[in-house]
Amino acid sequence: MTLATYFDYFILPILTISVILVFIRLVKGPKVVDRVIALDLIITIGIGIITIFTIRSNQKVLLDVAIILALIAFLSTVAFSFYIEKREDD
């Protein structure tokens, strides 16, 4: 078994199942803060998927997208928590 088939048939399916499980929590989360951390986790797993895809397709340009996504995930979580704290009613 080569490394390419291992990535294709083991690592990527595990990451895909993880995104589906987090998406269930994103739909069902009882409060808005649950949805915020679910969104954050989806973006973080997306960075991992982009990394594996970079390795498999040998396109190193795609890692730039991962940098931007990491930045956006942090900024969105901080902005969400800032405005949730400022909001008057729940």
Partner 1 sequence: MIDILIAILSTIGALAIFFASLGILRMPDFYLRLSVTVKAATMGVGLLLLCAAILFPDISVSTKAIAIIFFLIITSPIAAHMIGRAAYLTGTPLWKGTIIDELAGQYDKETGLLKNEKPSEQKTDSEQPQGQIAESEEETK
Rounded Cα distance between 37 and 42, Å, is 9
Rounded Cα distance between 61 and 28, Å, is 36
65 binds partner 1 (CB under 8 A): no
In the list 5, 8, 57, 78, the residue contacting partner 1 (rule: CB under 8 A) is 78
For the bound state, the minimum distance from the C-beta of residue 43 to partner 1, rounded and expressed in Å, comes to 10
Rounded Cα distance between 73 and 24, Å, is 19
Q: Give me the count of residues in the chain.
A: 90
89, 83 Cβ separation under 8 angstroms: no
Binding site for partner 1 (CB under 8 A): 2-3, 6-7, 10-11, 14-15, 17-19, 21-22, 24-25, 30-31, 33-34, 36-38, 40-41, 44-45, 47-48, 51-52, 54-55, 60, 63-64, 66-67, 70-71, 73-74, 77-78, 80-82, 84-85, 87, 90
